[in-house]
Amino acid sequence: MERVVDKFLRYVGFDTRSSEESDRIPTTEKQLKLAEQLSEELNDIGLTDVSLDKNGYVMASIEGNIDGKVPCLGLISHMDTSPEISGSNVNPKIIENYDGKDIVLNEKDNIVLKTEDFPEIERYKGKTLITTDGNTLLGADDKAGIAEIMAAAEYIIRHPEIQHGDIKIAFTPDEEVGQGADHFDIKKFNAQFAYTVDGGEIGELEFENFNAASAEIKIGGRNVHPGSAKGKMINSMLVASEFMDMLPADETPETTEGYQGFYHIVSIKGGVEQTRLSYIIRDFDRDNFEKRKKFIQNCGEIICKKYGRNIVKINVEDQYSNMREKIEPVKYIVDIAAEAMNMADVEPKISAIRGGTDGARLSFEGLPTPNIFTGGHNFHGRYEYIPVFAMEKAIEVIVNIIKLTAKL
């Protein structure tokens, strides 16, 4: 059986960044290259009903080998990586027997994974780590999840003595741009419940997430020659600065944690005549979430009144909702994952996702889908890393979930 590390290193060699600006499906054609590779491997391992649809979704099955009716279990990970940083020419570094000190990722550019900045890395002294070379992200979000599901599927196929029900596997595109569940065929998948393998550090188990919305703000201006601009020019960039100053400075990602929500500006593009701001709005509490959306609209109205003209236009769109309300009625699926972790000597760390997964959308569409760890840290950036032993534990947990589901 191929090691999970070898699978992972192969998958991160595919550049699968998704795109927020694309209107194609999937948003980038290069995601299909990995989808084709995974389809081949699933067939080679021995799964059935392997398919790759026109939208880039890979699905496959492992037929149950147990008498009697047991729930059909789903396992899901996403193929794309964040568009925020390069995913091209990923060059992973393997750090064996990590000494607990700073790791120089790129000596030339003085890029260092410092224990001062990321103290949790010291917990992995003596372990093998996989890091970036400082130039790109690593892609453990979520190629580690893919590798772990693939390894677990191969293990189940190679060990027919393990009793299990039907198992469905899916790999999705475009999760990082909020579109991973847009074209997911739940009827075809036909699982009773599922797990996304898309979490962070070892032990993470999550069944609640942010309510999420995007806000696109267009601010108009009026350009006049600066030599004669007094009382006439309206510089949209300065108006945009006024707008940003109206939002609470202590309610940003950098200043919040736990169950605290935030406003996060992700893009500014502008000139005198027009400036565009892109925000995301996040909150776990539904009432607070609605208040946040209303507040950002009110800020625009105040600006318009000040300038006596409709210079601010705001479009707010919901992205996904907190899946807790859909998971709680079937809370036993969270308990199964926690027990599976305990069986693997992994302490379950039940927490809320300060983000979202495909599972959040799928839960509202009738497929309850909590999230379990991959083992990775510092996703979406050049300081990303993953301990190898955590990947191996994730495989063990997945296999345990399969065994426990067979007993329902």
Residues with a catalytic annotation lie at: 80, 175
pLDDT in tens, 252-269: 999 999 999 999 999 999
Nearest to 75 by CA among 337, 315, 283, 271: 337
CA distance 128 to 5: 11
Give residue 308's pLDDT: 85
Give residue 269's pLDDT: 97
Q: How confident is the model at residue 198 (pLDDT cuts 50, 70, 90)?
A: very high
Asked whether 191 and 158 are in contact (CB, 8 A), the reply is: no
Q: How confident is the model at residue 178 (pLDDT cuts 50, 70, 90)?
A: confident
Q: How confident is the model at residue 371 (pLDDT cuts 50, 70, 90)?
A: very high
| Cβ neighbour number for residue 163 with a 10 Å cutoff | 14
Asked whether 98 and 124 are in contact (CB, 8 A), the reply is: yes
DSSP states along 53-103: -TTS-EEEEE---SSS--PPEEEEEE--B-TTS--SS---EEE-S--SS-E
Give residue 1's pLDDT: 81
Q: How confident is the model at residue 356 (pLDDT cuts 50, 70, 90)?
A: confident
What CA dihedral angle connects 122, 124, 125 and 128, to 10 degrees?
Answer: -140
What is the DSSP code (8-state) at residue 162?
A: S
Percent of the chain with pLDDT over 70: 100
Q: How confident is the model at residue 358 (pLDDT cuts 50, 70, 90)?
A: confident
Query: Looking at residues 269-289, what average pLDDT do you find?
Result: 96
The three-class DSSP label of residue 11 is helix
pLDDT in tens, 32-84: 999 999 999 999 999 999 999 999 999 999 999 998 889 999 999 999 999 98
Based on DSSP, count helices (H) and strands (E) in the chain, helices before strands.
Answer: 10, 17
- What the chain holds in terms of domains, given with CATH numbers, is 4-208+322-405 (3.40.630.10), 211-320 (3.30.70.360)
> What is the pTM assigned to this prediction?
0.88
pLDDT in tens, 95-149: 999 999 999 999 999 999 999 999 999 999 999 999 999 999 999 999 999 999 9
Cis peptide before 26 (omega within 30 of 0): yes
3-state secondary structure 279-333: EEEEECCHHHHHHHHHHHHHHHHHHHHHHCCCCEEEEEEEEECCCHHHHHHHCHH
